[in-house]
Each structure stands twice: as C-alpha cells, then as structure tokens.
Amino acid sequence: MSESIVRAENISRFFQDKKRGIVRAVDSLSFEVKPGEIFAILGPNGAGKTTTLRVLSTILRPTYGVAYVNGYNILEKPDKVRQSIGYLPSESGLYHRLTPHEVISLFGRLSGLKGNTLKRRVDELVESLGMQEFAHTRIEKLSTGMKQKVKVARTIVHDPPILILDEPTQGLDVPSSQIVEKFIKEERDKGKAIILSTHIMEEAEYLADRILVIHKGRKRAEGTMEELRKMTGRTRLKEVFLQLIKEDGA
C-alpha cells in the first residue's frame, strides 16, 4: 500500500457573509489521496467543493485544520505546495490574443522549462489533448471545449505529481469531455494523484477510484461507487446521490 500524497486533516473554511452571517463553506473535512488515484469530491452546487480545492491549492487559508500536499504543510510551505500541484480553477481566463501553442509555451517557460524540453512537452500536450488543428489559432476564435483543453494543458505543463481540477469537464460537449476524461485517466495511470470536483454522479462513477460526497461543507460518505451503492441500498446513480445528501430525518 503506497503512502498518501495528499492528506487533509479537519479542514474548515468559514466566510462572513453580510446577508447570511457565518457560512460554513467547508466544515471539518478529512481525506487522503494516494499516487495513482483519482479522487472525486462530489456534491451539489454550494456544497463546498471549490472552497476545499482552493484551500488545498493555498489560495485560501483554512479557518481551522491543516493539509499536507506532497509532504508539505499548506500553512508553512505554500510555495512548495504550489510547485507540487497543477490547479485548474473552475473559472479562469485565457489571453485572447495568444494561440494555444503560445499559452502553453509561456506557462512552461514560467515553470522553468526551456529549449527542446519545452518544445517536446508542448508538442506532447497538443497531441494528447487533440489540439493539433487549432494549436496556432488565436484563442478568441476557439470554442469552449477547445479553450478548456488549453486550460488543462496549461495546468499540467510542468508535470506536477498532483492535479487539482475543479469541475474539469464543465461546459464541455460529449466529444471534448471524453478527451479530457481520457487524458485524466492517462495521468492517473502515470502515477499522478488527481483530485477533482464534480456535481455529476455519472462523471464521478466513470472517472473516480474513490468518491467523497459532501453537502453543506460536511462529509456525507466516502468510498468506491460500489461501496456507496451498498451504503444506500440503491442502484440508480441519482437515487444513490439523493440518498447520500438527504437531510437527517427528512
């Protein structure tokens, strides 16, 4: 059994909201992820998925708790954590005037790649994400799916051991999401640890080795899809999900 490469220990993140008062976006979550594993955080809108991933990525400090990413404490070694991860935010922009090839090369250079190594890496990503036909077209002319592939490529150009992907297939049509999903599985098979969020149970079932179900910031269940089915006694995905996020006594 290999060691965990990500370990969250009771992480919480609260927000002070003018209208709602204190919002417990993430409330005492613990989990571990190993290399070579796809770990999905599944929950409805507002469950706390993005907040959890932002805490792991050191963009937000936890209100309580701590996490270790690639052995580094997120509070004490945020720079080391950032070097160890590729983070795909759920909403992010791209420079419209550049081409995919230029964007990926730029991010590669910023992370220290150069010369032939950089060139090879960019070519490899263009090919594995199926971007050959638009690699030299300005981003402003690309579809949502094409742009998402560029964002994925930019996220992992430095070949980090850990990928943190916030709703990676959101807004994609079926062919594009299939390419991104296949790519995520290939990265897993190379030994990377992948943490992704989704609100779609089918996606969690298709992609994830283990699933953490959260609702209102709290853990509702954790396990393989098969274990979640057993826990709920349901087989249809929607029913399994609804059962897991049901309010106690409801």
Stretch of 32-40, 41-49, 81-89, 149-157 lying at the interface with Mg ion (CB under 5 A): 41-49
Residue 45 interface partner, choices ligand ADP, Mg ion, none, CB cut-off 5-8 Å depending on type: ligand ADP
Residue 23 interface partner, choices ligand ADP, Mg ion, none, CB cut-off 5-8 Å depending on type: ligand ADP
State the burial class of residue 17 (Cβ atoms within 10 Å of its Cβ: 0-12, 13-18, 19+). exposed
86-89, long-range: CB < 8 A, 24+ apart: 86/155, 86/156, 86/157, 86/158, 86/160, 86/162, 86/163, 86/164, 87/53, 87/57, 87/59, 87/155, 87/164, 87/165, 87/166, 88/151, 88/152, 88/155, 88/163, 88/164, 88/165, 88/166, 88/168, 89/166
From CA 156, how far away is CA 162, in angstroms rounded?
9
CA 79 to chain centre: 19
CB of 49 to Mg ion, least distance (A): 5
CB of 23 to ligand ADP, least distance (A): 5
CB of 49 to ligand ADP, least distance (A): 3
> Does 14 help bind ligand ADP (rule: CB under 6 A)?
no
> Does 22 help bind ligand ADP (rule: CB under 6 A)?
no
Q: Which of 8, 12, 43, 50 binds Mg ion (CB under 5 A)?
A: 50
> Does 51 help bind Mg ion (rule: CB under 5 A)?
no
Residue 235 interface partner, choices ligand ADP, Mg ion, none, CB cut-off 5-8 Å depending on type: none
Q: Which residues contact ligand ADP by CB under 6 A? A: 15, 17, 23, 25, 43, 45-51
